[in-house]
Chains A and B, each alone.
Chain A
Amino acid sequence: MTRRRIVRCLRVLALAAVPVGLVAAGLAVPAPVAAQPPAAAAPLAIEAPVQAAELDRIAVIEKVSPAVVAVCQVGGRGVGSGVIIDPEGYALTNHHVVVPAGQGGPVMQAGLADGVLYDAVLVGHDMLGDVALIKLLPKEPGKPFPFVRLGNSDDARVGESAFAAGNPFSVALDFTPTITFGIVSGVNRYEPLGSRPGGQEYTDCIQVDVPINPGNSGGPLFNMRGELIGINGRISLEKRGRVNVGVGYAISINQIKNFLGHLYAGHAADHATLGALVLTENEDADLARMVVRQILDDSDAARRGLNTGDQLVTFAGRNMSSTNHYKNILGTFPAGWRVPITYRRERETREILVRLQTSQAAAKEERPAPGGPMPPRPLQIEPPAPKVETPASKLFRPAKGMANAYFNDLASDKLLTAVKKHGDFGAAGGTWGAEGTFEAQDRKGDMRLEVAPGTGDDAKVTLKLNIEHKLLPLKQTDPREQAEPIGSGGLMMALYHYHRFLTVGKKGFEGEFLHGGSEPFYPPAAEPAPKGGLAATRVDADVMRTRHGPVTCKWYFGKADAKLQGFEVYLTKDADPCEVFLSDYRDVGNGRQLPHRIECRHADKRYAVLTVARWALGGN
């Protein structure tokens, strides 16, 4: 064999040994310079910072891996990934993972890095945002699960390192997570609704070059501090098959945080719309301006003063400079949330607080269809009764508009138990009276209030603000009468419901009595308005939703202390509610605390402030 032949043989071997990527790169591989067999190379001295960085990375991966979930069908067939976010075993994943995992029902299984397959049940989901919350059942009652910390995805920056964990292609039969590593390729990305019915929209999402493959769906994206910054769920594809081509997307954890209260409370969460069509003023313009083109008359935005032609400047604190920006930020909110919006009309800039409405009803108005028909909105489908029975099946109760009503009961019980710390009013179901003073727009004086529950339907509310107002809340059904005193939006009705909520509780609300998830609450700002606008006054609250007769209420409990901060009373569906803000809580005896300052607002105006000097609570 000539020397030349040997070289050629080596070349073939060398080619066979290079990674596929290099072969694919079409190298004109140069002939090796020397044909001698190489000696075993001495280990390289790795520089200290490199070694340190690598050890840090290994430590972070080891720390988070136990909380990474392989989401499986009952029986252990892997369909996706997930991650546990609290010691009770609640785990986030994708909606498009729990559907096949549950095989049409709510129960599934979940494998952890300890090699154990746990029973799990669907808790709540956000179909449009492609997020679901499941709960793993511990093998021993009360045993805590490993979990990860939620990060702040708004801090993620392009170029920052990140890693994904999950079970791509179901490679790990013992559920040890597969780790892939890369950088954040883009932030605040908008990935539109898929073309199929029941499609999902990724708003304000994180783009990564971290390899995300089938089976990674629902799994965590971490920053290098081991904080959860997103849930991986999508990749861009075109002509190279259903594998990663360097472009993956994670739902940002900050969006998920907005929905988390709804998910924990078992809701089939609904996304929001503004009730207005907002488009760039002129696609060809130098700089894009977002302008209100159409607005629904019965939308809250219209009632707050937004009109066609107004320029949207900020939405929930974010600058609006393209359609993507607008869709991005809007898509991160659940229906029913209030967000601050600033708009410009001529030379004046105004900030308003708008209640976002459900995307279901307004779907047609919200979405322009410039390039042909829009894909249909996903239908909310109630999960059918469980097909497979496991111990997790006990943690499921079907109900309309719910993913799993069992967890709504759980969440309401938990919240109301916490609320009881501020007093148990169950034994104070008789007539309540209050005396003090009031201050309204242009008058003030003594105030006297009496709420008499009566028996049957003869409940009666008397409110004396100089003039005496009376309401029989169950007998007077004319909305105009119910809305008295005029300008309050129904303060007497509100106080009747307040009494009922505290003294009767669940049994008093035959129409609805639900945990409504989490919402921001904005107590009225002191004058002058604080710096930072409405956002500075925001309080995070847990919400209860009730209906008694035709009247629906939303009750806002501060997350920090479970104290009732205020409530909204809707006499009819599409009118401004009577808003009641409660403060200056003081003990009224028997460990009961009641507010001594009650502010009533309606339609952006303060109706009155009631200052209570003395409460008198009647027993049963």
Chain B
Amino acid sequence: MTPVKRLTALAAAALVGLAPADLLARPLPQVCETVNSKLVKLFGAGGFARLNNFGAGIVVSPDGHILTVANSLIDTPNLVVHLPDGRRLKAEVMVVEPELDAALLRIVLDGKKAGEPTGLDLAFYDIPAEAKRPPAAPGTTAIGFTNQFEIALRDEALTAQKGVVAAYAKLTGKLGAFDFPYKGDVYLTDAITNNPGAAGGALTDRTGNLLGVVGRELKNTQTNTFMNYAIPVGAAVDVTVKENDKEKTVRVSLPDFVTRGMKGEYRPTKRERPTAGEGGWAGIVFVPNVLARTPAYVEAVLPGSPAEKAKLQPDDLVSFVDGEPVGSITAFEEYLRTRTRPGGTIRLEVRRGGSLQPVELTLAAPPARVVVVPPPKK
């Protein structure tokens, strides 16, 4: 079909109201350019084992506020942002909401105090406005924009991948051995958007409207396969919190997180029950779990924890738990999560120096907040 004919067909289709949105919209290359101008590359903690020190973020204010995923990337005072025009700037974390797996950052210019107006005047997504749209239905064209595999630096454009919204459904994911904290609705796509470093990118529709924030590399708890998901721009979850010994339910939403977060008024939700596992808690910090079967070497014991009371020491190798051999850190954590409960007792045998030492631990309930262990310094 010649371009003229096609135009005629489009015009005719438009007249009778038949033309699908996808074909009438601006050409996709133009849309990609616009979307890319509202996204940044992020560089932070990681860079060893399989912890990526790169990701992406969505600009949510002209002044340089950035919405991204609350993963280990941001656990550093040396966050770096690459703007779409290639400028390299510093950023800091303002607030994190684990219930939404979201983090809000802001760009800090040299010579200016954090929070001072930056005068950057960046292209941005207005999150409350984007959230007003109803969720996109399955079958809607969806485009992922991410910095997976750290392909883009400086002014290079993020990776664009096209697919459809496969479903809008509750997330049942797990991160390693742990259930994933976010339990709300997500977009699932048939495009393979969630590769290493993809987290914090944008999922948009065919016209560049923001659908959600591309999530991490998570596995589905039912099939143990990787998922391609994004947390919707209007994500909202109900969380039970304890206040003055009374349980109450609060609604946590992404637009509210961004709006109040930018003003510095947002307080992260303190959940009554921890999200990380249902089993007992020993308070052992293991060496970084970087191998398929990392031996369960103790790196540290947390103060006041059962492990400290039982006098576990750094460099102890946890060899047996209740008589069963411990093959790896993952296996030990799995054992705690599935076979123990707070208040229960486990019997460990640890290799210390040349000999096996029996140790008995009375497990506790995990502390109210998930402790983020900073990555080891290189």
Contact = CB atoms under 8 A, between A and B. Distances in A.
Given A186-B157, A238-B195, A284-B88, A49 B227 contact: no
Interface stretch (B57-65, B186-194, B352-360, B370-378): B186-194
Interface in B310-328: none
Contacts of A340: none
Contacts of B29: 157-160
Given A49-B20, A158-B32, A246-B195, A209 B151 contact: no
Given A50-B20, A246-B193, A160 B220 contact: no
Contact of A48 (B9, B36, B160): B9
Contacts of A239: 50, 196
Contacts of A22: 166-167, 188
B68 interface: no
B152 A26 contact: no
A285 interface: yes
A191 to B, nearest CB: 8
B162 A182 contact: yes
B4 interface: no
Interface string A300-326: 000000000000000000000110100
A244 B190 CA distance: 13
A205 B157 CA distance: 13
A158 B33 contact: yes
Residue of A24, A52, A187 with highest tally of chain B CB at under 10 A: A24
B173 interface: yes
B197 to A, nearest CB: 10
Given A49-B6, A49-B23, A25 B228 contact: yes
B1 A288 contact: no
Contacts of A53: 23
A130 to B, nearest CB: 18
B88 A285 contact: yes
Interface string B141-167: 001000011011111111111100011
A47 to B, nearest CB: 5
B195 A26 contact: no
Interface in A37-92: 47-50, 52-53, 55-56
B148 A26 contact: no
A52 B191 contact: no
A52 B160 contact: no
B289 interface: no
A477 interface: no
Nearest to B36: A158
A510 B173 CA distance: 72
Nearest to A319: B155
Contact of B191 (A27, A184, A207, A209): A209
A23 to B, nearest CB: 6
B221 interface: yes
Nearest to A47: B18
B191 A246 contact: yes
B101 to A, nearest CB: 16
B161 A246 contact: yes
A349 interface: no
A245 B148 CA distance: 11
A599 B6 CA distance: 55
A48 B12 contact: yes
Interface in A166-201: 182-189
A188 B156 contact: yes
Given A239-B50, A324-B153, A207 B86 contact: no
Contact of B10 (A28, A49, A158): A49
A247 interface: yes
Interface residues of A, number: 47
Contacts of B19: 47, 49
B5 to A, nearest CB: 8
Nearest to B12: A48
A158 B31 CA distance: 9
Given A53-B23, A238-B195, A209 B88 contact: no
Given A25-B166, A49-B10, A238-B196, A185 B153 contact: no
A322 B85 CA distance: 12
B13 A286 contact: no
Nearest to B31: A159
B10 A26 contact: no
B89 interface: yes
A301 B166 CA distance: 55
B229 interface: yes
A478 to B, nearest CB: 53
Given A47-B18, A48-B13, A48-B18, A189 B220 contact: no
B169 interface: yes
B223 A24 contact: yes
A236 B9 CA distance: 40
Contacts of B223: 23-24, 26
A508 B136 CA distance: 75
A21 B190 contact: yes
A321 B9 contact: no
Contacts of A245: 192, 195
A184 B151 CA distance: 14
B226 A189 contact: no
A402 to B, nearest CB: 36
Contacts of A185: 159-161
B160 A321 contact: no
A183 B20 contact: no
A25 B220 contact: yes
B206 to A, nearest CB: 10
B159 A25 contact: no
Contacts of A49: 6, 9-10, 13, 19-20, 23
Contact of A52 (B6, B32, B162, B196): B6
Interface in A312-345: 321-322, 324
Nearest to B22: A50
Contacts of B160: 158-159, 183-186, 209
Given A159-B28, A246-B195, A247-B159, A52 B88 contact: no
Contacts of B153: 322, 324
B361 interface: no
Nearest to A188: B156
Contacts of A183: 28, 160-162
A236 B151 CA distance: 10
A240 interface: yes
Contacts of A21: 166, 190
B225 A209 contact: no
Nearest to A50: B20
B169 to A, nearest CB: 5
Interface in A2-26: 21-26
Interface of B: 1, 5-6, 9-10, 12-13, 18-20, 23, 27-33, 36, 50, 86-89, 143, 148-149, 151-162, 166-167, 169-173, 188, 190-193, 195-196, 220-223, 225-229
28 contacts: A21-B166, A23-B225, A24-B227, A25-B220, A26-B188, A27-B167, A28-B169, A47-B18, A47-B20, A48-B9, A49-B20, A55-B1, A159-B27, A161-B28, A182-B161, A186-B158, A187-B157, A188-B156, A207-B159, A209-B160, A209-B162, A239-B50, A245-B192, A246-B193, A247-B159, A284-B88, A286-B87, A288-B88
- Nearest 8 A/B pairs, CB to CB: A246-B192, A26-B220, A159-B32, A159-B28, A157-B29, A24-B225, A159-B29, A25-B188
Given A182-B162, A209-B192, 19 more contacts: A22-B167, A24-B223, A25-B227, A25-B229, A26-B169, A26-B222, A56-B1, A159-B30, A159-B143, A236-B149, A236-B151, A238-B149, A246-B191, A247-B148, A285-B88, A321-B86, A322-B86, A322-B153, A324-B153
